[in-house]
């Protein structure tokens, strides 16, 4: 198949591209490089430096495409609180522009990169796909909006839609600027001999999923039709302070932390039930936290820039 990956020069996209290419698929990556890095794009893929709002470029990119994996967009929750308009413009309007280009090109199969942030403050755990959506930050709100537009394009245009709600991915190739995710910030501080930054005294509970497991979920859904929504997580909640303890074990040294208090837009606890995805496709997370941290530390040791 020929697959278009928007935002494919980023952290998760780089792993998805490799899996697709290794499986023999043809991959086209579209990324404006505002957040991505061209060096993360597999040389076997066709790369188009463009914004998804550029209709002419997208119509060209969509020629012969079977599936779109849509990952382009802004992701930083604290930034979304400060600048919600940018998130509406990039994540929502950009996605609608892409969907309109897909209609014109006759491409009607899409996998959408969504987020656990759509659930807001959980009423019960683990989170399931039919739980109420109630974002506590504009980032989550932008993803809910796109999910709703995808539902309408499924109804109006017959799109086959797969929505993957990511929990907390980590692993090699994570080079966000600014970096707001816990694990890369913890690792970078540890390797630099600095105090490890935590919020809420490290009591927050998250579902940390290794990026290669997350990427694999995208390749497992490319035979689905209709409208599908799946959580993608490990099913296990881990406190950030316990991640710190595991990191101490991996590095074999004591680490000091610095607590930055509360962070606006955060929720205290969430973790996934990925039972629906497992039953539908056979997918499950394979890499445990300690193993994943070892691989991630190794990558940062070899790639961290001073």
Hey, which residues are catalytic here? 139
- Distance (Å) of CA 292 to CA 14, 127, 142, 273, 283: 17, 23, 29, 20, 18
Closest Cα to residue 3, out of 11, 13, 12?
13
Instruction: Give me the half-sphere count of Cα atoms (radius 13 Å) on the Cβ side of residue 251.
Output: 22
Closest Cα to residue 196, out of 243, 130, 149, 266?
243
Residue for token pair 């993957």: 164
Closest Cα to residue 112, out of 261, 257, 218, 201?
218
Which segments of the chain are extended strands (E)?
2-6, 26-31, 46-49, 67-70, 109-115, 160-166, 168-170, 196-198, 205-206, 208-210, 227-232, 238-239, 257-259
* Rg of the Cα atoms in the chain: 19
The DSSP code for 4 is E
Residue for token pair 């959408």: 112
Contacts of 213 (CB under 8 A, 6+ apart): 234, 285, 286, 287
How many angstroms separate the CA atoms of 298 and 224, rounded?
36
């Amino acid at each position: 198949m020929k697959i278009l990956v928007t935002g494919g020069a980023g952290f998760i996209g780089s792993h998805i591209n490799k899996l697709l290419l290794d499986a023999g698929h043809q991959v086209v990556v579209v990324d404006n490089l505002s957040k991505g890095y061209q060096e993360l794009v597999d040389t076997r893929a066709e790369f188009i430096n463009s914004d998804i709002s550029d209709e002419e470029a997208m119509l060209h990119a969509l020629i012969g495409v079977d599936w779109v994996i849509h990952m382009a967009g802004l992701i930083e929750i604290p930034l979304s609180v400060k600048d919600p308009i940018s998130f509406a413009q990039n994540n929502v309007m950009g996605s609608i522009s892409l969907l309109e280009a897909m209609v014109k090109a006759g491409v009607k199969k899409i996998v959408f990169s969504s987020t656990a942030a759509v659930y807001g403050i959980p009423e019960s755990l683990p989170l399931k796909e039919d739980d109420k959506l109630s974002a506590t930050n504009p980032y989550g709100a932008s993803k809910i909006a796109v999910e709703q537009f995808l539902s309408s394009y499924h109804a109006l245009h017959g799109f086959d839609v797969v929505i993957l709600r990511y929990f907390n991915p980590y692993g090699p190739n994570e080079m966000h600027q600014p970096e707001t995710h816990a694990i890369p910030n913890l690792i970078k501080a540890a390797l630099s001999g600095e105090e490890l930054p935590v919020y809420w005294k490290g009591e927050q509970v998250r579902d940390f999923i290794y990026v290669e497991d997350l990427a694999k979920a995208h390749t497992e859904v490319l035979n689905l039709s209709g409208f599908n929504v799946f959580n993608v997580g490990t099913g296990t909640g881990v406190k950030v302070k316990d991640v710190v303890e595991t990191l101490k074990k991996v590095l074999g040294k004591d680490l000091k932390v610095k607590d930055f208090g509360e962070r606006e837009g955060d929720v205290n606890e969430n973790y996934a039930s990925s039972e629906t995805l497992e039953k539908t496709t056979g997918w499950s997370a394979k890499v445990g936290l300690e193993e994943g941290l070892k691989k991630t530390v190794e990558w940062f040791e070899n790639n961290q820039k001073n």
